[in-house]
Structure formats: C-alpha cells, structure tokens
Amino acid sequence: MILKTNLGDSSVYGGRPRFWFFLYQLICHFILPFALVRLVLRARHDRSYLNHLQERLGFGYGHHVNQDAVWVHAVSVGETRAAQSLIEAYLARGDSILLTHMTLNGRRAGSQLFGDAIAEKRLMQVYLPYDLCWSVERFLQIFKPKLGLFMETEAWPTIVFRCHELGLPLFLVNARLSEKSANRVRRFGGAGRALFQAFNGILAQTRLDADRYRSLDVKDVEEVGNLKFDIRMDKGLVESGREWHLALKAEGRLMVCAASTRDGEEAMILDAWKELLESKAIQPAPILCIVPRHPERFSIAEKAIQNAGFAFRRRSAWRDNPTNIAVLEVLLGDSMGEMPMYYSASDLVIMGGSLLPFGGQNLIEACAAGCPVLVGEYTYNFQQATLDALASGAAIRIDIQKQKDEAGSLVLALKKLLSNVHQIELMAKAASAYSIQYQGATKRVLALVDKKIGR
C-alpha cells in the first residue's frame, strides 16, 4: 500500500519533496529485509531482540492500547532518561503515555524507569514501526495519539509528514543539531527544510542548536534548555555508590569512572591506566571503573582488561554491593541503569565518546552526582553543555595537542588531578552547582507545548 500524500504542495513542504519522498520509500522497503536480518543476528547474543518483532511492522500490540495518549518517542537509553521528567509531569496531570523506542536497551530503560505506570496501564511501551507508509499508517490508526513529542534528533519523514497531514501536533523536544548534521540537511535543500518545518515546533536545547535550525529557514524554533538537567537520580543507587565511595576512602583510594566508553576508547584508557599505576605517582593506587556505552561490548571490554593483566571483576559478579572493591585495579561496570551508582562512587569521570571522534556523551548526570569530568576534544554532540561545564570549572578538557598522543595526554591529566585532592573537591562543588544552574527545561517545554496546542 502506498500512502496518498500532498507532498507536492510546495506551500507546505517547499521545493519538490514528492520525488525525494518516494525515493526514500523505495530505499526503506529495499533495506527492510536487511534490518530484520540484523535483528536476527543480534538475537544470537540476546533473544530479546526478537521480542515484539511485529511491532516494528505496525502489528502485534494486543487488545489493550492507550488511545488519545501523549506520545513520547525516545529512541534509546539516553533519550528515555532525558524524557523522564517530562513523562512524569504528564502522568501527574492525569494523561496516559504512549512511549516508543527503536532499541532494545531504550525499551529496557523505560521499563525500569516507569514500571509502576506500566503496571497501572497509564503508560504503554512499544517499538516505533519502521518508517514505511503502511506500517506508520497502521500504527497511527491503532493508537490515535493526541500529541507527539519526539526526543532530540528523531525526524522520520513518513511519520512526521503523515502527522502533519492528519493535524496531529508533533514537536521535536530537547532538540539538538550539530553543524555536521545541519550541513547534511542543507544538501537536501527544500526537502530537508520541509521535514523540520512539518513539526509544530522545534524546542531546542541551546541557542547554538536553535540557531542551526533557524539557519535552515525553519520557523517555530524556541530555545528551552536541556531536559537532562531535570533528571532525578535514583536515591537507592546514589546511596549504594556512596557506600562504595566510603569503603574506598577508608583505604585511602580514589576511583575514576570511564563512563559510556565507545569502541577503541577502552584500549586507550587501559594503556593510560597501566602507565599511571606503573609510575606509582598516586599512592595508594586508584581504581578504574569502565562502563561501556553498549551492553553488547561488555565482553569485548572484559577481554581488553584481561589482556592488560589487571586485577578486575565484573559488576555482575556481585549481587549486592561489593565488599572487597578496594583490592581491585579495575572494575567492569557491566550493568544497565546503574550509572548514578558508578558516578556517586567516583571521584572523577572520564567521559566516553570524547576521546575518539564519536561526539561525546552526556556529562550532565556525572555533574549532578557531584563528580568532576575529564573530556577529550570530540564533544560536538554536547557542545554547549560541555562548554558551560568547562567554563564553570566542573570539567577539564584533556590537552591532546601538547602530547599529540591521546593516552599520554590522559595520563598527564590524571596525574595532575589525582595528586591534587583539593582541586577535585573544588571541581566537585562546581559540578553540583552547574547541574542545578540549568534546571527548569521541563516546565518551559510544558508551557510552550500547552500554548501551541491551546491547552
């Protein structure tokens, strides 16, 4: 079935997006078998990848569906966590929530965060269907949401244009746009601009993000701040982390958390850690906690730690808080949803994704735990948040230019900070203050969306 659209109406979409749209549909249908095969291959390591497979095609939702709900789309873990305060605010108003994801880990994070609301049938989780006309049409006909809030960078043409045609209010919330992504959109000319203009509003994280959307001639762009500053950390996990921290402090040891590391970064960090320990510059020797960004890489990180010859254990080896953590050189954080615990146990964070050109990961949660941060040179995905953290004294950027060697630069930065506990304490205070200073995005998003839909 090919969905009938008005994409030729240049007054709405600009230019000639009809050609691009049908070309896009052909490509989507062509790659569909490959997407399904990819899920099957991933299922060799985790059968859960095949759960709810029909939902990805617009089927299999069961008898109970949340119609007339506020629809929040959060592709994976980070977006789901960012949406937490917003979802809780709508639930408190009495709205029901339809929460969609693209990844298994995003769905798991949502189940963990909103378990009570799911049990009470106030929130329903499903996978967002693949962006095909027929799967999108079926999805929208079944759920009939009253409002859509897409998190950060999610702009699927079929869904966005169809919601526009149906008059379903759709907003891009906590929106961010790197210069690289903006240039990519410009290459599509009017079709790229039409996609973002089809939203009822772009609610951007920062002035930089808002200006990039406006540079594409997109209207209805507002700067509202970053929802990640409004995230509430699990008190139980924070308390567990503090217990770890006290146990290490009793031994006089510091802990460094390498958080959300990406492919290639673990090896770099482990090389730097070996050099640091062999230098005996910091005594007693600190402990390193490595937490890979993606669970499928836990085993890869474990092999790298083993090959480096460190005394280590996996977090999953303990059911409760470890009692002998102080005897380790490295801890592998192979658990989901426990980042507040790792941050609260640590004295310093190395932010993954920033040492190699991945664009960096979110440093706000580390700062909220009162943990200072070391970042590399690649932070373009969180540009403003990183710049603000650096300016406030909550973070330090590793100076790779002097060494022209990432591992060597990391060793120097670690030696400098870990040998100066007073500086770490000052940075920790700055980190807490920074995380509080920029709160309030949730209220601004609610107010703007209410205004635009006339609620």
| pTM for the whole structure | 0.87
Average pLDDT, the chain: 90
pLDDT confidence tier of residue 63, bands split at 50, 70 and 90: confident
Distance from C-alpha of 22 to C-alpha of 25, rounded to nearest angstrom: 5
The answer to whether 332 and 314 are in contact (CB under 8 A) is yes
pLDDT confidence tier of residue 247, bands split at 50, 70 and 90: confident
For residue 442, pLDDT beyond 90? yes
Query: What φ, ψ does residue 102 adopt, rounded to 5°?
Result: -110, -25
pLDDT confidence tier of residue 327, bands split at 50, 70 and 90: confident
Q: For strands 70-73 and 348-351, give the pairing.
A: unpaired
For residue 7, pLDDT beyond 90? no
pLDDT confidence tier of residue 455, bands split at 50, 70 and 90: confident
Task: Quote the pLDDT of residue 403.
Answer: 47
For residue 6, pLDDT beyond 50? no
The answer to whether 7 and 165 are in contact (CB under 8 A) is no
Averaged over 183-212, what is the pLDDT?
Answer: 91
Q: Give the residue numbers marked as catalytic.
A: 79
- Closest residue by Cα to residue 366 from 333, 399, 339, 390: 339
Q: For strands 123-127 and 170-175, give the pairing.
A: unpaired
pLDDT confidence tier of residue 401, bands split at 50, 70 and 90: low
Averaged over 420-434, what is the pLDDT?
Answer: 96
